[in-house]
Amino acid sequence: MFRSVLDWLEERTGVESAIKHFLYEDIPESSGWHQVFGSVALFAFLVQVFTGVLLSLNYAPTPGEAYDSLRYIMTQVTAGPLIRGMHHWGASLMIIVVMLHLVQVFLWGAYKKPREATWMSGVVLLLLTLAYGLSGYLLPWDNRAYWGTVVTTQIAELAPGLGPYMLRLLGSDGTAIGVVTFTRFYAAHVLLLPPLTMLLIGLHVYLVRRHGVAPTPADEGRPKKKFYPRQVAIDTVAVFVWFAVLMGMAILARVPLGHVADPTDLSFIPRPEWYFLFLFQFLRWFEGPLEVVGAVILPTLAMVALLLVPFVDRGKMAFVRQRTGAIAAVILGAIFWGGLTAKAVIGTPETHEMDMSLVQSWQEVSAGNLASIGYFRQAQCGSCHEFGKPGVGPDLSAAPSKRPAEWLREHVKSNPKAPGVLKDAQVDMLVTFVTKRSEKAVDAWENAPRSAVEGALVYQANDCASCHKLNGIGDDLGPPINGVGERRDRAWIEQHFADPAKFSPESMMPPTKFKPEELKRITDYITAIPK
């Protein structure tokens, strides 16, 4: 029956003979591990397409909603962090593989006649791979993506004679990024680059099959071998190793999500992805009128030189060990790229920006909500109102209380299990909490760590909200609490409590003498509140 199905498919589609023709291609005897990079690069592209489609199912392609949807993917979608990690790290690994493939072809001299077009299509595929990284960089719409793209548009503006047109194409004025720029980057990343890449991959594979795998001088006189089974097995192992590395990185190296893009945050220092860091460092050598040389002219000349390599080196094929010029060029290029990248990494300033995909509900609700959870526990309300299940009293986490506020106040005050534990103001906050609260407050009720609740209790006991705003609640007499842990280190905050005038001469804040455990609780709490 199986043979009959295959015969039916072969008669009507020719699929069986096409597969056999592909697998039983003649390849040189010297073929082996050094020629796996093409197959791995193709597999890497397929992984990017697959993970990109999965991400798009929950991604909203508009600036504000893009950030929220990505945070939703990272916190709510099943395997969301894994899929995003695979897509993010897959892009980096794909660039590495494509670069290694290009270097291998260059060292072996496999670009020589009649394979010039094969080489040139490969160079264009490298540029498209970098374009994916450039266009996809903006899509998370966090601070890092926003300011990095601002730098990209400023570089595009430097193009001699084309600067204004490039800005119009990108939908930017060179100083800010808006909806138009976001839409065009998204369209390029999702709608333009994939079909163009598929066409070029098809052309590249066709040219490889047309001219065959480049032989070495030692292959002359040797019989050829088939692509299947040995080379297929080698390629499969290489693909498996690449995928194992990708999965390891996706699981162990979490991709952070910074704060939502803030055009007013002029203090943010943008940094590109690692594969563009060398260019970022290279531009430091060119300032003022010379900036266009480093940003546009020299990179363009480098790409043109790469495309013209087959027409410059027209000598006969030689063993790799005899290609000293090519080896020297690769070594010098690696030193140049690696040195600039390392210098850029060393010079990258330390950042304390929180990973917003790890922020929990208790970090986003008011201090009063968290403190009310503490009041609920202090008054032993949980002995009758159990969380998540009916008890002597109703489950207040399932639905807010419908009792009148005055009745609830008297009910709390007359609680025989904890008489007089709470002050009137604390009772009022507790009553408000059990009658009016958000879904995040309920989630915080269930998941907030004890230390956070205790920190909020200290915050409320010292009436910090009378001067400072936290998660939108409080006054503006003092600086906002949100993001203080990203602006100041722990030692500064603790010493500031003891002597505010020493650290902020114009501050009206009085010294606060906390007990050691109180100081730890409130410092832990406020440093955990995101910007």
DSSP for 83-122?
HHHHHHHHHHHHHHHHHHHHHHHHHHTTTSTT-HHHHHHH
| pLDDT confidence bin for 125, thresholds 50/70/90 | very high
β-bridge partners, 473: 470
Residue 142 pairs in a beta bridge with 260
Give the DSSP letter string of 213-270: SPPPGGGTTSPPEEIIIIIHHHHHHHHHHHHHHHHHHHHHSPPP--SBP-TT-TT---
443-474 pLDDT tens trace: 999 999 999 999 999 999 999 999 999 999 99
Classify residue 50 as exposed, middle or buried by CB count within 10 Å of its CB (0-12, 13-18, 19+): middle
Q: Report pLDDT for 474.
A: 96
Q: Does 507 score more than 90 pLDDT?
A: no
Query: What pLDDT, on a 0 to 100 scale, did the predictor assign at position 363?
Result: 97
The dihedral through the CA atoms of 154, 155, 161, 165 has a sign that is negative
Residue 244 vs residues 86, 189, 240, 302: alpha-carbon distances, Å: 11, 26, 6, 34
The percent of residues above 70 in pLDDT, for the chain, comes to 100
Q: What is the pLDDT of residue 267?
A: 80
Residue 3 pLDDT > 90, yes or no? no
Mean pLDDT, to the nearest integer, of 289-294?
Answer: 92
* pLDDT number for residue 264: 87
- Under 8 Å CB-to-CB from 332, ≥6 apart: which residues? none
pLDDT at 417 over 80: no
Give backbone dihedrals phi and psi of 91, rounded to 5 degrees, phi first.
Answer: -65, -45
Q: For residue 294, which amino acid is it?
A: G
- pLDDT over threshold 90, residue 73: yes
- Between 322 and 416, where is the model more confident? 322
**Which pLDDT does position 306 carry in this prediction?**
96
For residue 399, what are the CA distances in angstroms to 211, 390, 403, 436? 72, 12, 12, 10
270 against 66, higher pLDDT: 66
For the segment 262-280, the average pLDDT, to the nearest whole number, is: 88
How far, in Å, CA of 458 to CA of 521, rounded?
Answer: 7
Question: According to the model, what pLDDT value does residue 288 have?
Answer: 87
Q: Once rounded to an integer, what is the mean pLDDT over residues 96-102?
A: 97
User: Can you give the pLDDT at residue 166?
Assistant: 93
For residues 173 and 502, the model is more confident at: 502
Extents of the domains making up the chain: 22-349, 359-527
For the chain, the average pLDDT equals 93
Q: Strand, helix or coil at 362?
A: helix
Kindly indicate the confidence band of residue 270, based on its pLDDT and cuts at 50, 70 and 90: confident
- C-alpha dihedral sign at 123, 124, 127, 133: negative
How high is the pLDDT of residue 480? 95
What's the rounded mean pLDDT across residues 227-231?
92
Please state, in angstroms and as integers, the Cα–Cα distance from residue 311 to each residue in 30, 86, 138, 199, 200, following that order.
25, 38, 37, 24, 21
Query: Which of 127-131, 214-218, 434-438 is predicted most confidently?
Result: 127-131
**Looking at residues 206-233, what average pLDDT do you find?**
91
Under the banding of pLDDT at 50, 70 and 90, the label for residue 420 is: confident
pLDDT the model gives residue 291? 92
Q: What is the mean pLDDT of residues 399-423?
A: 89
Fold of 22-349: Cytochrome Bc1 Complex; Chain C (1.20.810)
Taking residues 307-326, report their average pLDDT. 93
- Paired tokens of 531: 């910007």
Residue 26, H or E segment: strand 26-27
* pLDDT surpassing 80 at residue 221: no
Say if residues 363 and 530 touch (Cβ distance below 8 Å): yes
Which residues lie below 8 Å from residue 204, measured CB to CB, with a gap of 6+?
Answer: 118, 121, 122, 125
Residue 460: C-alpha distances to residues 65, 446, 467 (Å): 33, 20, 12
User: Helix/strand/coil (H, E, C) string of 27-44?
Assistant: ECCCCCHHHCHHHHHHHH
Q: Which CATH architecture has domain 359-527?
A: Orthogonal Bundle (1.10)
Query: What pLDDT, on a 0 to 100 scale, did the predictor assign at position 2?
Result: 87
Residue 83 clears pLDDT 90, i.e. is over it:
yes
What's the whole-number mean pLDDT along residues 163-172?
A: 91
Mean pLDDT within 468-491:
94
Residue 388 has pLDDT above 90, yes or no: no
**Spatial separation of the C-alpha atoms in residues 429 and 368, rounded to whole Å:** 7
- Give the Cβ contact number of residue 227 at 10 Å: 18
Across 360-388, average pLDDT: 93
Q: What is the pLDDT of residue 392?
A: 80
pLDDT given for residue 265 in this prediction: 86
Task: Please name the residues in contact with 417: beta carbons below 8 A apart, sequence gap of 6 or more.
Answer: 379, 380, 383
Band (pLDDT 50/70/90 cuts) for residue 16 is confident
The whole-angstrom separation of Cα 35 and Cα 118 is 15
More confident of the two residues 393 and 69: 69
470: three-class secondary structure by DSSP? strand
